Every structure is written in structure tokens, then in C-alpha cells.
Structure 1
Amino acid sequence: MKFFPREGQFWIYHGAAMTFVVMVTLLSILLFGRLDANNLASTLAWMPAYTIAVLGFRWLYLHRRWADLPMGRLVPVVIGYGSLSGFAVMATVAAMVMPFFWQQISASRAEFNSLDFLARNILGNGLQAQLFIGAWAFVYVSAAAAQRAREGELKNLRLQMSLKAAQLSSLSNQLNPHFLFNTLNNIRFMIHEDGSRADAMIVALSELLRYSLESSQQGKVKLTQELAVIEAFISIMRTQMEDRLDFRLSVPASMSSCLLPPMVLQLLLENAIKHGLDHLPQGGMISLEGEDRGDSLTFTVVNAIPRAPANIKPGLGLGLPNIEHRLRLLYGDRATIRTQQTAGCFHVELNMPKEFVS
């Protein structure tokens, strides 16, 4: 910690404050006395002494950690420092200036007592110096407290952003381990039955994994990228479910450049299969429809579910809450996810702000 601050802003403020004090001092001399060489020299000598005094307070405030003191103890400390340093400043000014004007000062008074004159001069002007030093100190304490508050807010904001990033990283791009295990097992069996289909499944799975890893470094991706990974996911599921999966996609080409969180639509489809079609021996239909509503985008996923499920809760689990949490972290109240269950179908409607690639 340096005794002399290096921040230019500090010296600008200090220079402005000192200029104000000097102007007040000179004005009071003009109003209640006369401005002579002695007064002018004293004023000029006062400036560096005053600067050293207030910088001493700053150094002690930081070095002794006076910022940690309660206000009830800090106020007496400031007053005490102002009193001592105020008298010290005026004693220093007297020692610097009076030797040059001592003969003039003593000759101007019929009865001159040097000790009495020095005491009156130092005590009288010391009270004024004490006032200015104390005012500077209280302004500095207030400014330092405000700066600490701003730094605390910034630190808290950085922590919140770090937490938000960690939460997003944890919630996004999570492929269902059950899906991966099933896919790998199907590939193992498919290798002996149909090598070309096994090869296609490996390619599709590698694309899905690559997208999951690469998109983990991005907050949002283009819709075309998401649709490409959906195609890879559906091709894997078609190989596993064969004719039980009827997938329908309807997304306008005008939405291709729009941005959205990665893997959100894929997770909606995976959730629809896991909680819907997997419980239908004959399979069923899943549809994904996109709609451009001007300042927002809407995606609707509809999947078939058993008409009279026994212990099945279609659409529930961790998938939808995770997606909802991600949307809340990214968009706040500007994004919503709604679900509706009708006879034989489960609807998920996702609405988010419309954003384009910058």
C-alpha cells in the first residue's frame, strides 16, 4: 500500500477540495484582514502540510483497518486525528514561514510576546485546519464505504453469475444415461444383425455426443443446429423403436437463424418418448411444431400417452423441471413452459424471447 495514491481520480478530487479550501481561506483574509506576503506565504505553505496530513489519515485508515471499526468508535478517532494533525499542520506552517517575517511581525506590535503570539497563532489557525482535515476525513470515509459497497455488489454479482453459469452447465446438455446405455446395447446387437444400420447408429450417436460437448461452451445455438441434432436423435430412436415411432416436424424456414438454449428441444422429445411412447406397446406419434410470434418463439411438442395409465405420470420427472430451470436462469420471466394433458396426448408448449445471431 503506497502512502501517495497512484489513482489520478484521487488527486483530481483532492486538488478540487484543496482549491476550495484555499479560496475560502483567502476570501476570509480579504474580508476580515489584509492579504500580505505573510498571509500568502502561509497559505501556500499550508497546502503541502495539509496534503501530508490527510494522506496520513488515509494511510492509517487503510493500514490500521479503521474501516472495520463501528461508527461509534470511528467518529472519535477521526475527531482526534483531525485535532492533533490540525495543530501539527499549523505548527509546521509557522516553522516554515515565520522566520522570514519574524522581524516584520514583531515590529508591528508595541508589546510583543513571542511565545504568546506563536501559541495564539497555532491554536487559532489549528482549529480551522482541524475543521478542514476532519471534513476531508469524513468525506473520505463516506467515499471509501460507498466504494466498498459497490465492490461488494460487484463481487456478489460475479458470484451470482458464476453460480448461474455452473447451474446452466449442470442443467444443460445432459444426455440421459439410460438413453446412452440402450443405444450402445442396441448397437452391440445390431453389429451382428445389420452392420450398415449399426454404422448409421454410431454416426448418429457420435454427432449427438459431439454436439452435446461443443454446445456446453455456448449459452445459445442456432435453431438449425438444434434441428440437426434432433434428426440424429430421432434416427437412433427409429432404429430402436422401428415402426412404433411416428415423428412429425413442422418448423418454418424463417426461424432457422433464431437462437435458443442447446439441447432443449432434444430433451423435450426425449422426455416425450420416455414418459409417453415407451409405455405404448404399439408406439405412437410425436410432433414438434415451431411458430414465430414476432417478438417471441413458440415450440409445441405433442406425444401420445396411454389413455388409462395405471401408475404412469406422463411428462413428469426431472426433464421438464430442468428445462424450466434453465429457461428461468437465461430469460427470467420472459420464458414460460406449459403442459396440458388431454385424452391420449400430452402437450408441452415452450415460449421464449426471439433472438437472432448477432
Structure 2
Amino acid sequence: MKQQVTISLYWKCQLIGWSVAALYWGYTGFNQPGFNWLLGILQFTTDVAVYILITHLYRCFALKQGWQSLGLNKLLPRLIPTVLLLGVVYLFVTISKVYLFRVWFKPGFSEAFSDFFDFYRDSIFVAGVRLMSIWLLAYHLYHYAKREINIAKENARLAIVTRDAQLNNLSAQLNPHFLFNSLNNIKALVIDNPKSARRAIDLLADLLRSSLYSGDKQMISIKEELELVKDYLELEKLRLEERLQYHIGASDELNAMLIPRLSIQTLVENAIKHGIGQQKQGGLIEVQLINEQDNLIISVSNPGRLNLLEESGGLGIKNLTERLQLQYKEFARFAVSETNGIVTATIKIPVS
């Protein structure tokens, strides 16, 4: 089976670019009286071949010197003398070629090379500088843009790897934090209420199973998260009994939506620890999830004081805000407010 020959982008640009230039020059000659087709074909062929050779030799030199890796501030001072030098090379090669073709194809041509050179020198030199400037700028700007794109891709890849590592680290912090709190709840029940303690152990087993199966996930469905939250609230209710009431409001259409794992549970845990747990009479924890203008609004409300929550801080909330920032950047919002003795923690994230 024959292997297909492919031409690199560099050689395609060389052939197309210099062919277009040579055709333009040939077209200007074609409009002159006494146009010679053989001479026109030779001019076209030699123009393409010679100027590709000159620019390719420069490319080999630039690659050897590593100029394609230089920044613009270091490259430009090198390009200015290079353009002038290539303009001089272009001048001598072009005048020599044109002079020889006139000697060979124009009967009776006897002008001395020095006179011919002096007559065309300035115009051909300026044309050469212009052409070489265009070629060099196109060549180096392509490499510069390609290098910047590669750097941007690499930076983006590193940013994703770093973000994933940070998320994994934060997730690893959450599991023991969450489970230790659950164990403390069971510890409080063992002596005073053994029956409830047995039920609490069953709930903890479910929580552990859920944690093991989804422990490596950064995002889980709202349905899975709410099942975890319900188990946790039932576990806490065994300890707090009538002091804890709760209500979860979420439509079924939100069930499949993905959210950061343990995000709602963290808010609920915080509401119990800093809200219900501090109220002698207890109170109601209300969890609400709504889809509002392509944003998911998660709110957890409980009786309490905002200043107490701000003073206590805690790993869970700090962890949650970091994860939201890493996952959604500036598109996520987390806020806590107090109105008439009701503290509300709110997460706003884009619907994906």
C-alpha cells in the first residue's frame, strides 16, 4: 500500500506565497509589448525556487540559533539587521537573474552590468526589504502565536490539574469531619437512649456506605445529596428529639442536577451546630432548592444569631466556599444573612 505524501504547512505557505508573488510579477510583464512565454515561465520558476531557497536558508539559521523561541522584545532587534541583509541578498540575486535573462533572450542587449545595477538598485532593494519584512514577520508571528497558544493550553491544563488536586484534598478533609460529627451524636445516645443509638448506628452505616460509594466524586445529583441530608437529619433528631424539626422543599425536576458533594449537608450540619444546638427550645431547619433564571438557589434557614456563626467559623463552611470558588469561579455565590432571628445560608450556582 502506497504511503501518502503530506506537505507541511510551512512548505505550503512557501510555495503558495512565492507562487502568488511570481504570478503577479509575470502578469505585469504579460501586459508589456513583446511578452516572451518561455522567458515568463523561466522567470516564474526561478523566482519561486530562488526566493524559497533564500528564505529557507534563513529559516535553517533561525532554528539553529533558537530565534523562534525568543520573545518579541529580544527578536525585533535581531530582525531589523536581518531584513536589511536579506534585502541586499535579494537585490544581488534579482538583478543578476534579470540581467542574465536579458542577455540570453534580448538580442542586441549590451548594457554593462554596473550600469544596469545602478539603474535598478534602489527600487529592487526597497522591494526586497518590503518582501523580506513581510516574510519574516509572518514566519515569526506564526511561531509566536503558536507558542503563546501552547503556553495558554499548558497553563489551562495545569490549572485544571491543580484545581482537581485541591478539590480532592478538600473532599478528603470533609469525610472524616462529617463522620466524626456523626460518631459524636451516637456517643451521646449510647448511655441515655440505647434504642435510638442502635437506630443511629444503622443510619451511620448508611452514611458510611454512601460516603464510600461517592467518596471519589466531586459532584453528585441533588437526589443523592438530599438522601444523605435526610439520613443525617434523622440521626440528629434521635439526639435532639423534639428540639429539631425540619422541612425539605425541592421539586422532582431538580433531582438529576449535579451539585458539589456534601454542599447541602454542610449547611445543614452548620445550622444544627450553631443554630438549633444553641437554642433551648430548638427550632425548624428549612431547606429550599429552586431553579431561578438558570441558577440553582440552595438555602438553609434556622433560628440563631449571625454573629455567633461568624465568630465560630469552622472547617465545613471554609471548605465549602473554597470548593465553590474552585468549581465555579466567579459564577458561584455564598452568603449568610439574619432576619428576625432566622439565619439563612444561601448558595447560588449556575445550572449546568
TM-score grouping bracket, smaller chain normalisation: 0.7 to 0.9
Which residue among 308, 320, 323 is the counterpart of 2:320? 323
Contact residue 53 and residue 133 of structure 1 kept, 8 A: no
Matched residue SS, 1:214: coil
Q: How many Å separate the matches in 1 of 2:312 and 2:86?
A: 70
Deviation for aligned residue 1:25 = 1.6
Per-residue CA distance 1:45-98 (angstroms, 9 max, x = gap): 22122212222222322331224234233211232234336635776x689x86
Q: How many Å separate the matches in 2 of 1:196 and 1:10?
A: 75
Give the aligned partner of residue 26 of structure 1: 26
1:277-356, aligned counterparts within 5 Å?
277-280=276-279, 283-293=282-292, 295-305=294-304, 313=310, 316-355=313-352
Contact residue 304 and residue 345 of structure 1 kept, 8 A: yes
1:58 partnered with 2:59: yes
CA gap 1:206/1:178 in 2 versus in 1, 3 angstroms: closer
1:79 partnered with 2:84: yes
Deviation for aligned residue 1:117 = 8.9
1:1-358, aligned counterparts within 5 Å?
8-31=8-31, 34-36=34-36, 37-67=38-68, 68=70, 69-84=74-89, 87=92, 108-109=108-109, 111=110, 127=125, 131-171=130-170, 174-175=173-174, 177-184=176-183, 193=194, 196-197=198-199, 199-210=201-212, 212-216=214-218, 220-280=219-279, 283-293=282-292, 295-305=294-304, 313=310, 316-355=313-352
Contact residue 300 and residue 349 of structure 1 kept, 8 A: yes
Give the aligned partner of residue 3 of structure 1: none
Q: Calculate the TM-score normalised by the size of structure 1.
A: 0.74
Q: How many Å separate the matches in 2 of 1:245 and 1:266?
A: 16
Matched residue SS, 1:349: strand
Deviation for aligned residue 1:317 = 3.9
Contact residue 264 and residue 323 of structure 1 kept, 8 A: yes
Matched residue SS, 1:38: helix
Per-residue CA distance 1:215-237 (angstroms, 9 max, x = gap): 23xxx432111111212322333
Q: How many residues align?
A: 338
Deviation for aligned residue 1:102 = 6.6
Per-residue CA distance 1:136-160 (angstroms, 9 max, x = gap): 2222223333333333333343344
Aligned residue type for 2:54: A
Unaligned runs of 5+ in 1: 1-5
Q: How many Å separate the matches in 2 of 1:227 and 1:24?
A: 72
CA gap 1:85/1:229 in 2 versus in 1, 3 angstroms: farther
Contact residue 276 and residue 302 of structure 2 kept, 8 A: yes
Matched residue SS, 2:261: coil
Deviation for aligned residue 1:288 = 0.9
Q: How many Å separate the matches in 2 of 1:318 and 1:188?
A: 21
Q: How many Å separate the matches in 2 of 1:312 and 1:260?
A: 24
Matched residue SS, 1:341: strand
Range with bigger deviation, 52-61 or 322-331: 322-331
Aligned residue type for 1:50: Y
Deviation for aligned residue 1:335 = 3.7
RMSD: 4.0
CA gap 1:329/1:33 in 2 versus in 1, 3 angstroms: farther
Aligned residue type for 2:334: I
CA gap 1:313/1:102 in 2 versus in 1, 3 angstroms: closer
Q: How many Å separate the matches in 2 of 1:346 and 1:249?
A: 16
Aligned residue type for 2:77: G
Q: Identity over aligned residues, as a percent?
A: 23
CA gap 1:103/1:22 in 2 versus in 1, 3 angstroms: closer
Contact residue 285 and residue 304 of structure 1 kept, 8 A: yes
Matched residue SS, 2:256: coil
Deviation for aligned residue 1:269 = 0.8
Q: Calculate the TM-score normalised by the size of structure 2.
A: 0.75
Matched residue SS, 2:174: coil
Aligned residue type for 1:87: F
CA gap 1:42/1:343 in 2 versus in 1, 3 angstroms: closer
Q: How many Å separate the matches in 1 of 2:305 and 2:146?
A: 61
Q: How many Å separate the matches in 2 of 1:295 and 1:103?
A: 78
CA gap 1:123/1:333 in 2 versus in 1, 3 angstroms: closer
